[in-house]
Structure 1
Amino acid sequence: MADNVIPFPGAEAEPDDAPPFSQADIQAITQQLIDELGSPEAVLQALGAFGGFEPFGGRGPFDLMSPRPKPKLLRKRSKRATYVVRLDLDDAKPPIWRRLRLRSDVTLGHLHGIIQVAMGWTNSHLHQFKMGPSTKDFMMMPFLTAYDLSEGETDGIPENDVRLDQVLGEPGHRLFYEYDFGDSWHHTIKLERVEPWVDGQPDASCVTGRRACPPEDVGGVPGYEDALAGLRSEPSDNPEWTRELLAWLPPRYDPEHFDVAEVNEQLWQGLFNPDAWHPGIV
């Protein structure tokens, strides 16, 4: 299963004989950064601030030699509850987000399908969840997807074995989700409220949200921002690139469009609920 099903517009494969960075190049760049910022720790903190995360979850650079930390699951709730969460597409400006009401004991495999529908993705790429519940630690081992297991991965916890209440316990807790490892669409799921469960309500529903989902394979947040600038007819340093991006957008694409009724119609059809499928299908 290829990660990128549709080629990115204008992308060309790197030649096999492209010269890699030499060890001397890497050492020179690293030393320059240390000289300018004062210490290796300052370099790591600067990189973390640039990427929007705390480097190594607050650990020091020498801890990289230690095994990657595994998720520490929270205790399951004794009674099912309703979780009100906010789902944000990280770094999107203006913000792109959804507010959802979720059954507290849905699995992360089910949550993956809910996110795909709620945001508007097409489930065409790989994904992964990473545990919080507070600091975003990119060294944290992700939960294993069905694809990981089919590839023989065994070191980790399958996402289909993990419930939502085992990763989000109280308001303020966060869970991190990445979709499409090429475009790297990072999402944050933040628990806002815990409410009593009402029998008969759907496993997932969308309360509100803002703005349309970016098109698939547009080049992540930077490519999407370039496409939006093209829609606004802003001057471009690379008009040909802008034309390619605009041609890549779906017909009549409106970045402001969001219809909560459309989202709920798809969610309530239950097409993305693997918890309800026969194990053979899963």
Structure 2
Amino acid sequence: MSTKFQRAKPQFVYQLRIELQHIEPLIWRRILVPDTVKLAKLDRIVQAAMGWTNSHLHEWLIEQRRYGLPNDDWDSKDLLDERRFTVGAVLGEQVQSFAYRYDFGDGWEHHIAVEQRLPVQDGHNDWAMCLAGENACPPEDVGGPPGYLHFLEAMRSPTHEQHAGYWRWWGGPFDPQGFSLNAVNMAIRKLR
């Protein structure tokens, strides 16, 4: 007799609004995430939704607790292993907002609001997806919010002393307003 491992069916879906802090105009995404998704998978979903490349360490700050992947290169003394916790277990019905930090060198901080906790409708909202968003994600390793503002200034001005260098580094023009809902959902779909 063989038994197959079956995933728990989601009961609820969280509608989350992710906002990248310290950048104007605001860079944001609205996503749906089933309650059965592990925090480690939510990391990958946020990465895909925002446009990050998962090249750096990260952590979650939820209800005065830190979650992430334990790592010897940084302070993970009180860090809870994100692979052991589902979104539903850590957010429940009470959590209204939490934080996600990415790339401790550049210091990207994200505020995530729990907009709604919705019942699952099979075949309609029982998988992770992006519903909306605005503005392009900054490039990886651009130097955090101040570095990104400098990058934008240089890219907009052909006479800027670093324009050609950034142009080569990025690979051409950069549209800070660029956001494609289709591209984001294709990236999220590849995670399934």
SS at match of 1:116: helix
TM-score computed with the length of structure 1 as normaliser: 0.58
Runs (5+) with no aligned partner, structure 2: 1-9
Aligned pair partner of 1:255 in 176, 182, 186:
176
Identify the residue that residue 106 of structure 2 maps to in structure 1: 183
Cα shift readout 1:164-198 (whole Å, capped 9, x = no counterpart) = 12332348711211111110111111100111101
Identify the residue that residue 29 of structure 2 maps to in structure 1: 98
Aligned amino acid, residue 255 of structure 1? P
Aligned amino acid, residue 130 of structure 1? L
Is the 2:128–2:188 Cα contact (8 Å) retained in structure 1? Answer: yes
2:146 is aligned with 1:222: yes
2:154 is aligned with 1:264: no
Aligned residues: 182
Identify the residue that residue 192 of structure 1 maps to in structure 2: 115
Runs (5+) with no aligned partner, structure 1: 1-78, 133-139, 274-282
Change (3 A) 1:214 1:186: same
SS at match of 2:91: coil
Alignment of 1:1-282 (within 5 A): 80-132=11-63, 140-145=64-69, 147-148=70-71, 155-170=78-93, 173-200=96-123, 201-233=125-157, 239-241=160-162, 244-270=165-191
The structure that has the greater radius of gyration is 1
Aligned amino acid, residue 218 of structure 1? V
**Would you tell me which structure has more strand in proportion to its own residues?**
2
Change (3 A) 1:161 1:259: same
Percentage of identical aligned residues: 37
Change (3 A) 1:108 1:263: same
TM-score computed with the length of structure 2 as normaliser: 0.82
SS at match of 1:223: helix
**Would you tell me which structure has more helix in proportion to its own residues?**
1
How far apart are 1:251 and its partner, in Å? Answer: 2.0
Is the 2:155–2:173 Cα contact (8 Å) retained in structure 1? Answer: no
